[in-house]
Amino acid sequence: MSDPTVPDKKPFLYVVVCASGIAGDVGKLITAAQEANWDVGVVATPQGLGFIDAEAVEAQTGYPIRSAWRLPGDPRPLPPADAIAVAPATFNTINKWAAGISDTLALGILCEAYGMGVPTVALPCLNSAQAAHPAYRRSLDRLREMGVLIGSWEPLRPGTAGGADRYRWEEALELLDSVAGTAR
Ligand SMILES: Cc1cc2nc3c(=O)[nH]c(=O)nc-3n(C[C@H](O)[C@H](O)[C@H](O)COP(=O)(O)O)c2cc1C
């Protein structure tokens, strides 16, 4: 039986951030997740690091951003993930993840999440020229077969303004509610 004097440990959400022009708004997802009772840690791709305000993200989450593998013997900077939200998910990372490529820490975590049964959702952010590539459709099919829930982003033509306003960060939490209810 749980001790009523000890607050329940919150479930831990990894937000995987890729190198998209909208990545700088990831604080919106962190805020929404924290309001929904998640503790949050950010894992950025090496390219994605350049698109976010690392200091602000670390202040908001209270955890260091992970981007590179730790050295053997170094402590784990983040607790294990109860769920993962990839947002924004780039064309590049989606295709590599689906193909089982693990050449960034973010991809390594995502590739292992399937085998470890960690509930995972992805909100793609890419343009219609990227989405037209046959590999992209196949990658989404593969990820769905793996149980990954994919957001409803409709790609815009390259160079179209206003994408950031249409990106529904909160959809990550809506999707997680349907797959990760047991983790919370
Ligand atoms: C300003 C800028 C915005 C970009 N936005 C996107 C994007 O929204 N989606 C995408 O798939 N790629 C975008 N790219 C290209 C990615 O940054 C590039 O493919 C990168 O290699 C992705 O790396 P990652 O998947 O490891 O994060 C953008 C590049 C730049 C310079």
The pLDDT tens digits for 8-19 are 789 999 999 999
- Residue 114 is predicted with a pLDDT of 97
Q: Report the relative pairing of strands 83-89 and 12-17 from DSSP bridges.
A: parallel
In the chain, what are the domains? 13-67+79-152+169-176 (3.40.50.1950)
Q: Is 18 in the pocket of ligand 1 (CB under 6 A)?
A: yes
3-state helix, strand, coil in the chain (%, to 5): 40, 15, 40
| Pair 102, 28: CB distance under 8 Å | no
Report whether pLDDT(182) > 70: no
pTM over cut 0.75: yes
**Whether residue 173 has its Cβ less than 6 Å from ligand 1:** no
Mean pLDDT of 38-58: 98
Contact 125, 90 (CB under 8 A): yes
For 108: left if phi > 0, alpha if psi spans -120 to 50, otherwise beta; the answer is: alpha
User: Of ligand 1's atoms, which has the minimum distance to the CA of residue 90?
Assistant: 11
CA 131-133-139 angle, to 5 degrees, is: 75
Mutate to test the pocket of ligand 1, among 15, 20, 102 (most ligand atoms within 8 A of CB): 20
Instruction: For residue 4, name the pLDDT band (cuts at 50, 70, 90).
Output: low
| Residues 174, 180: Cα–Cα separation, whole Å | 10
In the predicted structure, residue 41 carries a pLDDT above the cut 60: yes
pLDDT of residue 176: 97
pLDDT of residue 181: 60
Shortest-distance atom of ligand 1 to CA 18? 27
88 cis-preceded (ω within 30 degrees of 0): yes
* Phi, psi for residue 112 in degrees, rounded to 5: -80, -25
Q: What is the pLDDT of residues 134-174, one digit of tens each?
A: 999 999 999 999 999 999 988 988 988 767 889 999 999 99
pLDDT tens by residue, 17-34: 999 999 999 999 999 999
More confident residue, 65 or 6: 65
Indicate if the alpha-carbon torsion angle 92, 120, 53, 76 is positive or negative. Answer: negative
Predicted confidence (pLDDT) per residue in 77-123, tens digit: 999 999 999 999 999 999 999 999 999 999 999 999 999 999 999 99
